[in-house]
Amino acid sequence: MSLDLFNNLLNNVKENKVVQNFMKELSDSLEKKNNELSNQSSLKQENELYQVIEIDEDGAYLQNVKDNKVSKETDILKDVLDKIGNDSVLRYKDGEYIYEEDLTEKFMDSLVDIAEYQKIKDDFINESNISEFDENIKFTIKEKEEDYCTLNYENEKEIKVPNALVPFWAEVGENLYYKDGKFNRDI
């Protein structure tokens, strides 16, 4: 008897237009999302730089340093995969990924530990009065030096900022904004 009740209930659900419409919309939505992911599975562009964010058993997840888009790449040569680790820098050139050893070393050298970063940040806040700035101010990188970046803001005013507080991949001419104690790229 309970089996008949279940079958009747199942048939009623199948016939219910609301459920049918929901199932169709859900199916269409999942298919659309799957197509978007398939189309974004590789974002390689000639001569662009990518930073390794995670190595997987059959490739690596790479982040484009200009726009921060992430893709999983499975066509990285094995000898390149064997040399790299997280935060390594690769360049896509002539149809393959090339390990940028010098650029990776430069990036790694730019990293500071948490305590040192906090000291640099606190000193900068105290010396510059940045906390009094409107968070809507856009800063433009005017110059990058060994230890500092010179940023322009509001009618060519300038401020010197320690490189540790500026995103490594930010370039001269690029806009930044300051929020929650750090500078961010305006991508």
* Edge-to-edge strand list for the sheet holding 138-144: 157-162, 148-153, 138-144, 175-179, 182-185
The HSE-up count of residue 165 (CA atoms within 13 Å, CB side) is 27
Q: Does residue 123 or residue 7 have the better pLDDT?
A: 123
44 pLDDT band, cuts 50/70/90, is confident
Nearest one of 164, 173, 169, 167 to 143, comparing CA atoms: 173
- End-to-end Cα, the chain, rounded Å: 63
Structure tokens at 61: 């997840």
Average pLDDT over residues 65-72: 92
* CA distances from residue 50 to 2, 64, 109 in whole angstroms, order as listed: 60, 4, 18
Nearest one of 116, 79, 117, 115 to 97, comparing CA atoms: 79
Average pLDDT over residues 9-34: 64
Q: Percentage of the chain with pLDDT > 90?
A: 63
